[in-house]
Amino acid sequence: MKKKKLNIVLFGPPGAGKGTQSQFLIERYGLVHLSTGDLLRAEIKAESPLGLQAQEIIGRGDLVNDDIVIAMIRNKIEAHHAAAGFIFDGFPRTKAQAEALDGMLNSKSEPITAMLALEVPEEELVKRLLNRGKTSQRADDQDEAVIRKRIGEYEQKTAPLKEYYSAQGKYTGIDGVGTIAEITGRLVQAIGE
């Protein structure tokens, strides 16, 4: 029988540590990391038409159009069909994105295994992002107003996805404050494999 794929949504507000933790989890479980933020930043770097459009939106702290990020994820899932599974980092961010992702994965009988939500208080997030901005070159990490806008977008449009995955019995909250290793340990325990 085909081995069941491990498809994890690593969830949480900007600055929760999704990117950092993804690096440990992809190594441990042999997964492919899909970060829509990274994919969009690659488009910006390449100065593609999509990149130029995205740059402005990201710079304001708004969300990029659902159709664009859904198409990006669809292409990547197709390109890595033999993977042991995926870590979705920064996607889905809206209900439309979550429904599209379920549509893609369920049609292949490779559904989301778990949604692990890193929980970090807002003031800690702002502190981490301003700190990251000193070295990350990310324009959206340089300005406290943009950081707070992103957190607001998360609260309004993305946080409700906890209920979406909860209704499927897939949501687990993870304390996202502590050392990197402590938080990795909590995630591994929650994955339980």
What tokens were used for 19?
């990117």
Angstrom distance (rounded) from CA 75 to CA 81: 10
Residue 69, interface with ligand AMP (CB under 6 A)?
Answer: yes
Q: Does 118 bind ligand AMP (CB under 6 A)?
A: no
Is 128 one of the binding residues for ligand AMP (CB under 6 A)? no
Pick the stretch among 21-29, 35-43, 128-136, 179-187 that binds ligand AMP (CB under 6 A).
35-43
Closest residue to bound ligand AMP by CB: 37
Of 34-42, 77-85, 113-121, 163-171, the window that binds ligand AMP (rule: CB under 6 A) is: 34-42
- Binds ligand AMP by CB under 6 A, chosen from 90, 120, 176, 183: 90
- 71 versus 177: smaller Cβ distance to ligand AMP: 71
> How many residues make up the chain in this entry?
193
Q: Is there binding between residue 150 and ligand AMP (CB under 6 A)?
A: yes
Please tell me whether residue 57 binds ligand AMP under the rule CB under 6 A: yes
Position among 40, 77, 114, 125 found at the interface with ligand AMP (CB under 6 A)? 40
In three-state form (DSSP H/G/I as H, E/B as E, the rest C), the secondary structure along the chain is: CCCCCCCEEEECCCCCCHHHHHHHHHHHHCCEEEEHHHHHHHHHHCCCHHHHHHHHHHHHCCCCCHHHHHHHHHHHHHHCCCCCCEEEECCCCCHHHHHHHHHHHHCCCCCCCEEEEEECCHHHHHHHHHHHHHHHCCHHHCCHHHHHHHHHHHHHHHCCHHHHHHCCCCEEEEECCCCHHHHHHHHHHHHCC
25 vs 69, beta carbon nearer ligand AMP:
69
146 binds ligand AMP (CB under 6 A): no
The alpha carbon of residue 50 and the mean position of all alpha carbons in its chain are separated, in whole angstroms, by 20
The least distance separating ligand AMP from the CB of residue 176, rounded to whole angstroms, comes to 15
Q: For the beta carbon of residue 74, count every other beta carbon within 10 angstroms.
A: 14
Among residues 9, 25, 63, 101, the one that binds ligand AMP under rule CB under 6 A: 63
Q: Which residues bind ligand AMP (CB under 6 A)?
A: 14, 36-37, 40, 57-58, 61-64, 69, 90-91, 93, 97, 140, 150
